[in-house]
Amino acid sequence: MSANTNRYESAAARYFEAWNATEPAAVEKAVAAAWTADGGYTDPLAEVRGRAGIAAVIAAVHEQFPGFVFRPLGAVDGHHDTARFGWELVNEADGSAPVAGFDVVTLDEEGRIRQVLGFLDRVPAGA
């Protein structure tokens, strides 16, 4: 495994840790570990900048989908300062995954996320 591959996988692991945190203090800590201070997050439903905005998006998703966790789909791929990976939102009670997508992230020199561009491949009807 190359150093860059490890860098991409580490960034994705911190990303999932942030998305799976549920307590406000844990979300704040995980977002700070994963994103730069001025990092951004953009998907079809949200566009925010800064750690507080990212934490708010994460909290809103947990409010809409209580009891769900984000899990990676497939391997993390990357080159230069960019990585991509698939994910799904899984109901821990029954294993269903009504939401899935993939994200493209750009990283700073320390491996923190500068920007996320998210794409939704599967969403529930009416969402």
Q: Which residue has the tokens 């998907």?
A: 43
Per-residue pLDDT tens for 95-122?
A: 999 999 999 999 999 999 999 999 999 9
Mark the ranges of the chain whose per-residue pLDDT is less than 70: 1-3, 126-127
pLDDT score recorded for residue 41 = 98
Q: Are strands 46-49 and 82-91 parallel, antiparallel or unpaired?
A: unpaired
Q: How far is CA 53 from CA 28, 40, 57, 109, in A?
A: 10, 8, 6, 22
Distance of CA 119 to the CA centre of its chain: 11
User: Any residues with CB less than 8 A from the CB of 13 and at least 6 apart, and which?
Assistant: none
